[in-house]
Amino acid sequence: MKTREEYIESLKKLNLEVYLLGEKVENPTEHPIIKPSMNSVAMTYELAQQPEYEDLMTVTSSLNGEKINRFTHLHQSTDDLVKKVKMQRLLGQKTASCFQRCVGLDAANAVFSTTYECDEAHGTNYHENFKKYWDRVQKEDLVVDGAMTDTKGDRALSPSQQADPDMYLRVVERREDGIVVRGAKAHQTGIVNSHEVIVMPTIALRPEDKDYAVAFALPADAKGIFMIYGRQSCDTRKLEPNADIDVGNKNFGGHEALMIFDDVFVPNELIFMNGETDFAGMLVERFASYHRQSYGGCKVGVGDVLIGATALAADYNGVPKASHIKDKIIEMNHLNESLYSCGIACSCEGCATKAGNYYVDTLLANVCKQNVTRMPYEITRLAEDIAGGLMVTMPSQQDFDNEKLKPYIEKYLKGTDDVPTEDRMRILRLIENITLGTAAVGYRTESMHGAGSPQAQRIMIGRQANVAHKKELAKEIAGINKKK
């Protein structure tokens, strides 16, 4: 396994083509806007080296018997699925942001089982391709992004019906030694901190969409790939001199980017689907379900930090004993633990796939994510309620550092006498960061749209809930169709 330092060194060796605020970034690992997100991923390496987290963060590989980081594991039991969620909660607590490495983990588990079943049906060799690839990922302890979401153009049209055929990533050329692909993947979490990327289709496909049924892996710096870094609310605060208090979470963050594949060559051995439209839906559904499980861990961990910050804001205001404050904190915990319960439940109810790795209960995973589209919003509302308006009207750090202004800010923005004004400012800025600032991408809007927008989960819940069986139950109890 790599150490944190080895991970950062390995990133420096990549030749990524990244654009941010209109300019090419020469050294992404040192860029003040990008670096906090790299620190979040680095935490997945750091914790894996610590004896107290060994059981959660490391595991024995099913492919090669070596000790590996759990972020590269193919789940072998429901216990593995549960530990994944617990690991994600821990990382959320340590970073208060999206730590990005789950996407590749979820993609790997989905590709592993889907390629097995695709090979069975079509006589292809994708599963072996994938096993060889993933064995290397585990041994080299790599960060792999999972690229699913196409840009989609006109949502009413299928991929092959689009006015521009590149709105979904597709194969533009088939060669003896591989394929050439073109397209773009949107919202690519953590791609600038990744060594590799696994690309998958974004929806179930019909036979006429054959060129869009494509899955493969590539190094993130493969020729023809480039990334345009996503803008986040308050991101340029990180560029201010001595940026600290106003950033809210100085050391950690997440990121997304628009990833362009400008006629990129993929060699045969890295292809995991090439035209098998009948397996696109399975791959999408499995990846989505794993990632919907993930949100029952990561968002809960960030929620823990937000609840802690909110309770501190109440302490600093001198109102921790007010009954409505106590009740609101209880409500925040109730909502947060409800999300966790779903993450744990869909893991406990998981089962083995034909390929042997474990898969979550899809109904419960979709219920988990559907709750994530709502409950963090209510947790956020309560945090803002308790934090008070000062969270968004407070003077800047530059004002606080100004000799003339500092004594006035210290005097008038003080809460309880025993707490320095600066501490109060720091905790309010942290709440602002999670609810409105750079981390809000991960905690709020990603809660809505990450791992699929709410309607996608409702479709799955509708399919999986077996209402016909429930009707039978009701008929039985009501005595309908029973012979007297």
Measured distance CA(44)–CA(4) in Å, rounded: 8
Measured distance CA(44)–CA(58) in Å, rounded: 10
One of 235, 276, 361, 446 touching ligand SF4 (CB under 6 A)? 446
Encoding tokens for residue 286? 């499995």
CB 199 within 8 A of CB 214: yes
Would you count residue 256 as binding ligand SF4 (CB under 6 A)?
no
Tell me the longest C-alpha to C-alpha distance in the chain: 91
One of 159, 230, 450, 452 touching ligand SF4 (CB under 6 A)? 450
Identify which range of 3-11, 198-206, 292-300, 471-479 contacts ligand SF4 by CB under 6 A.
Answer: 292-300
Shortest Cβ distance from residue 189 to ligand SF4 (Å)? 5
Measured distance CA(433)–CA(386) in Å, rounded: 15
Identify which range of 22-30, 202-210, 299-307, 442-450 contacts Fe ion by CB under 5 A.
Answer: 442-450
Identify which range of 45-53, 69-77, 96-104, 273-281 contacts ligand SF4 by CB under 6 A.
Answer: 96-104
Identify which range of 86-94, 177-185, 450-458, 468-476 contacts Fe ion by CB under 5 A.
Answer: 450-458
Helix (H) or strand (E) holding 473: helix 467-478
Q: Which member of 256, 276, 285, 432 is catalytic?
A: 256
The reply to whether 351 belongs to the active site is no
Would you count residue 450 as binding Fe ion (CB under 5 A)?
yes
Q: List the x/- string, 137-176, binding to ligand SF4 by CB under 6 A.
A: ----------------------------------------
Helices vs. strands in the chain: H and E counts, helices first: 18, 14
Helix then strand then coil, % of the chain, to nearest 5: 55, 15, 30
Angle between helices 280-317 and 323-348 (to 10 degrees): 160
Helix (H) or strand (E) holding 348: helix 323-348
Q: Which is nearer to ligand SF4, 216 or 443 (CB)?
A: 443
Shortest Cβ distance from residue 103 to ligand SF4 (Å)? 5
Runs of H (alpha helix) within 1-101: 4-12, 35-48, 54-57, 78-95
Beta strand residue intervals within 311-380, DSSP E: 351-352, 358-359
Phi first, then psi: give them for residue 267, nearest 5 degrees: -70, 155
Would you count residue 102 as binding ligand SF4 (CB under 6 A)?
yes
Q: Which member of 98, 342, 346, 368 is catalytic?
A: 98
Would you count residue 99 as binding ligand SF4 (CB under 6 A)?
yes
Binding-site partner at residue 216 among ligand SF4, Fe ion, none, CB < 5 to 8 Å by type: none
Runs of H (alpha helix) within 49-197: 54-57, 78-95, 102-122, 126-140
The DSSP call for residue 260 is: E
Would you count residue 100 as binding ligand SF4 (CB under 6 A)?
yes
Would you count residue 343 as binding Fe ion (CB under 5 A)?
no
The reply to whether 298 belongs to the active site is yes
Would you count residue 298 as binding ligand SF4 (CB under 6 A)?
yes
Chain contacts with ligand SF4 (rule: CB under 6 A): 98-100, 102-103, 189, 294-295, 298, 442, 446, 450
Catalytic site positions: 98, 102, 189, 256, 291, 295, 298, 446
